[in-house]
Amino acid sequence: MMYKNRIVALIVALLMLLAGTAALAENTITVQGIGSVKVDSDRAGISLGVREAAAEVMTAQSMVNERISAIVEVLKGMGLTEDDISTNGIGIYPNYNYDDGETIIGYTAYNNIYLTVKDVNNTGAYIDAAFAAGANSLDYVEFSATETEEADAKALALAVESAREKARIIADAAGVKLGEIVEMHDNADMSFGGNGIYVKNAEEADAGSGTDVMASKQTISAAVSVTFAFE
């Protein structure tokens, strides 16, 4: 009999808990908030390199290696270190003539390097120097921001404000009063940034002007999920 009483008491407790949870759910609202802050880029990443074709594979490779060495020396002379320069891609492939079957007529060798530039305002100068030293391919230029702690905190605060304002509008529309926060989750934050490179036109190039690169702003975003109570 005592055992049955305990079972009954447990069932009653569970029912009360479920009822309380349902009541809580009926008197709360969960909304999403997003905040974002723009910051200046303080790093530029440049992918450029050399691509050469020759009848002999070793000739093509030697031509590329010679030019890459010259480029690296010039860039080091501008202040970049070995830590700022890394290999981004290297390879050799055959070139074919299909006029009479499939005949190898030569080889193309390439070597791409990636530059990490801290002086973003002179990004174009590094590109121009590399091409003057022998580079003949530019894959992309990208920008990033490393000092984002303050922006992260501000974006998070804006996200919470956004959630509160959204919940207030819903509460006003429903004719109820918004209460305190009962639960909050920090969703994964995301950083976005446009990457842009503007190359001067042919007329400007003939006039001797170099590559003009404009560093993009980075957008630091935060998202939160907030549950409010209704009074």
Per residue in 57-82, pLDDT tens? 999 999 999 999 999 999 999 999 99
Calpha distance 39→191 (Å, rounded): 10
Does 219 map to a domain?
A: yes
Final residue in a domain of this structure, among 124, 144, 164:
144
Same-domain check for residues 140 and 69: yes
Query: pLDDT tens digit string along 77-86?
Result: 999 999 999 9
Model-level pTM? Answer: 0.70
Residue 174 belongs to some domain of the structure: yes
Pair 159, 184 in one domain: yes
Q: What b-and-e string marks burial along 146-183, b requiring 16 or more CB atoms within 10 Å of the CB?
A: eebeebbebbbebbbebbbebbeeebeeeeeebeeeee
State whether 33 and 59 are in the same domain: no
Q: Are 133 and 67 in contact, with CB atoms under 8 Å apart?
A: yes
Q: What percent of the chain has pLDDT over 70?
A: 79
In a domain, 160, yes or no: yes
- Are 138 and 52 found together in one domain? yes
Residues 154 and 106 in one domain: no
User: Does one domain contain both 159 and 112?
Assistant: no
Encode pLDDT of 147-172 as tens digits. 889 999 999 999 999 999 999 999 99
Domain end point (choices 144, 177, 205): 144
Structural domain count, the chain: 2
State how far the Cα of 130 lies from the Cα of 124, in Å rounded to an integer: 10
In terms of domains, do 182 and 200 share one? yes
E runs forming strands in 118-216: 137-144, 178-193
Q: In this structure, are 165 and 203 located in the same domain? A: yes
Residue 73 lies in a domain: yes
Q: Which domain holds residue 61?
A: 43-144
CATH number (domain holding residue 53): 3.30.70.2970
On whether residue 20 sits in a domain, the answer given is no
For residue 144, which amino acid is it? Answer: S
**Residue 38 CB-half CA count within 13 A:** 5
> What does the pLDDT look like over 97-146, one tens digit per residue?
998 889 999 999 999 999 999 999 999 999 999 999 999 999 999 999 99
CA angle 91, 93, 97 (to 5 degrees): 165
Domain-terminating residue out of 123, 144, 165:
144
Are 83 and 116 members of one domain?
Answer: yes
Residue identified by tokens 């010039």 is: 74
DSSP states along 177-204:
-EEEEEEEEEEEEEEEE----B---HHH
Q: How far is CA 43 from CA 74, 160, 221, in A?
A: 20, 30, 19
- Confidence (pLDDT) at 193: 52
Check whether residue 117 and residue 57 sit in a common domain. Answer: yes
Instruction: For residue 136, count other CB atoms closer than 10 A to its CB.
Output: 14
Fill in the amino acid letter for 70.
A
CATH code: domain of residue 187:
3.30.110.170
